[in-house]
Amino acid sequence: MSKESISIARRLIEEVWNNRKLDVVNDLIASNYVNHDPNAPDFGRGPEGYKRLVSLYTTAFPIFV
C-alpha cells in the first residue's frame, strides 16, 4: 500500500470516525463512491452518502467518541 493511501485511510479514521469531522469526507471520498456493505442501508453515492453512513453508526454507538 502506498504512503498516500495509508495517509488517506488514517485521516478518514482519525478525523471522520474518531473526531466526527464530516466536512473532511468531501476531501477524501470520491463523487462516484458506492458502499457495498449489504448490512448497511443504501444512502446513495459519493460524499453525502458516506456522511449519512457515518452518522448512522456514530448515532447508534455514541460512546465510541
- For 19-65, the pLDDT digits (tens) are 999 999 999 999 999 999 999 999 999 999 999 999 999 999 887 65
The whole domain housing 31 covers 3-60
Q: Is residue 54 a part of any domain in this protein?
A: yes
Q: Does any domain span residue 38? A: yes
In a domain, residue 65? The reply is no
Q: The dihedral of CA 10, 15, 20, 22: what is its sign?
A: negative
Q: Which three cell numbers stand for residue 28?
A: 477524501
Residues in the chain: 65
Using CB atoms within 10 Å of the CB of residue 8, give its burial: 0 to 12 exposed, 13 to 18 middle, 19+ buried.
Answer: middle
Alpha-carbon distance of 14 to 34, in angstroms, equals 21
Q: Is residue 24 part of a domain?
A: yes
Convert the pLDDT of each residue in 4-30 to its tens digit: 999 999 999 999 999 999 999 999 999
The pTM assigned to this predicted structure is: 0.88
Task: State the pLDDT at residue 64.
Answer: 62
11 in any annotated domain = yes
